[in-house]
Amino acid sequence: MKAVVINRYGAADVLEYREVEKPAINDDEILVEVYASSVNPVDWKVRQGHLKVITGRKFPRILGCDFAGRIADVGGDIKNYKTGDEVFGMVSALQGGAYAEYVRVRPKNISAKPKNLNFEQAAAVPLAGLTALQSLRRLGKIKQGNRVLINGCSGGVGSCAVQIAKSFGAQVTGICSAKNIEFSKNLGADNIIDYTRENILERNETYDIFFDAVANQSFPQIKKLLTKHGIYITTLPSSIEFIMSMLTSLSRGKKLKAIFVKPDAGDLDYLKNLIENNKLHPAIDKSFVLSDVRQAHLYSETGRVRGKITLRIK
């Protein structure tokens, strides 16, 4: 099969589109024929070696977390899926494997593909959508009427978070730059702060949830913007913030929480339902064929992506 592999960590030119062996599955696994994938910043962070303490030095490594496609084979223990089923899902960034014509997964990694999306649109959702959902619902315990702030509301995670927060009946303020104001309003944001003109720290407002998808704020500074039991959720915690998150979990007041997105079939089902009920729609900025993955990574690395970048495989 064709796949994108790296044989060492480095710049985008370490990405190789080439022939590799098709994965074999065990009894508790499923083989998915991948029709589309998408790029997440963690893909190029793994490629650059930022996570090498965890990802190790075993090469070649196939990158990619998100996929949508058709089941090509199921292991003997799999009861709830069959060959031909249309699915979408994610593998963890530490595992990778989605930038390929076939990916080997477990049932926790997948759900039925939303009926109203094509494969490319469906592949744009899993990692970003799960990050937003697990942050707001599991960590933030979001409720109707909550005042929610989303920093980076125009990115992959932020664009899902705005729509998911609105689906809970929250009042959403998004932070983005001037060129993304219209886009963010169309996602459903009630208020927008243009970070190129205004510093959020100078606002005299409080939020029940401050979801920092950019992770360029710090809890000690943000605290004054939180309600009495407000929660600050960050996608990239520093080591100090780890300690703070443990300390604040023991207190009754304002909390700092860090998200580490996990594949979860129940959460994917939840996203599928939101999508089929027209509460969540993936925003695709640019689409590339898998063999052009280097350009896709370079674009993601600019930090200026509006919504998602997809990779077409079939």
Which CB, 19 or 198, lies closer to ligand NAP? 198
Q: Which of residues 79-98 bind ligand NAP (CB under 6 A)?
A: none
Interface with ligand NAP (CB under 6 A), residue total 30
DSSP 273: H
CB of 274 to ligand NAP, least distance (A): 18
Report the residue from 15, 87, 124, 128 that binds ligand NAP according to the rule CB under 6 A. 128
Report the residue from 89, 126, 158, 230 that binds ligand NAP according to the rule CB under 6 A. 158
Report the residue from 175, 189, 296, 313 that binds ligand NAP according to the rule CB under 6 A. 175
Residue 43 has φ and ψ, to the nearest 5°, of -65, -45
The amino acid occupying position 309 is: I
CB of 206 to ligand NAP, least distance (A): 20
CB of 181 to ligand NAP, least distance (A): 9
Question: Candidates 20-28, 151-159, 221-229, 270-278 — which segment interacts with ligand NAP by CB under 6 A?
Answer: 151-159
Q: Is residue 236 near ligand NAP by the rule CB under 6 A?
A: yes
Contacts of residue 9, defined as CB under 8 A and 6 or more positions apart, other chains included, come to: 47, 48, 49, 52
- Give the Cβ contact number of residue 291 at 10 Å: 15
Instruction: Return d(Cα 9, Cα 131) in angstroms, integer.
Output: 25
Instruction: Return d(Cα 94, Cα 301) in angstroms, integer.
Output: 19
Report the residue from 55, 109, 121, 151 that binds ligand NAP according to the rule CB under 6 A. 151
Report the residue from 176, 244, 280, 293 that binds ligand NAP according to the rule CB under 6 A. 176
Contacts of residue 81, defined as CB under 8 A and 6 or more positions apart, other chains included, come to: 30, 71, 74, 87, 107, 110
Report the residue from 109, 121, 235, 248 that binds ligand NAP according to the rule CB under 6 A. 235
Structure tokens at 108: 């926790």
Report the residue from 126, 140, 152, 282 that binds ligand NAP according to the rule CB under 6 A. 152
Binding mask 2-31 for ligand NAP (x = CB under 6 A): ------------------------------
Across the chain, the runs of DSSP E, i.e. the strands, are 2-6, 16-19, 30-39, 61-62, 66-74, 86-90, 102-105, 110-112, 147-151, 171-176, 191-194, 207-212, 226-234, 255-258, 284-289, 308-312
Report the residue from 30, 42, 148, 293 that binds ligand NAP according to the rule CB under 6 A. 42
Question: Candidates 51-59, 140-148, 221-229, 254-262 — which segment interacts with ligand NAP by CB under 6 A?
Answer: 254-262
- Give the Cβ contact number of residue 227 at 10 Å: 15
Instruction: Return d(Cα 256, Cα 60) in angstroms, integer.
Output: 37
Nearest in space to 44 (alpha carbons), one of 312, 262, 301: 301
Residues interacting with ligand NAP, by CB under 6 A?
Answer: 40-42, 128, 131, 151-152, 154-158, 175-177, 180, 195, 213-214, 216, 235-236, 259-261, 300, 303-306
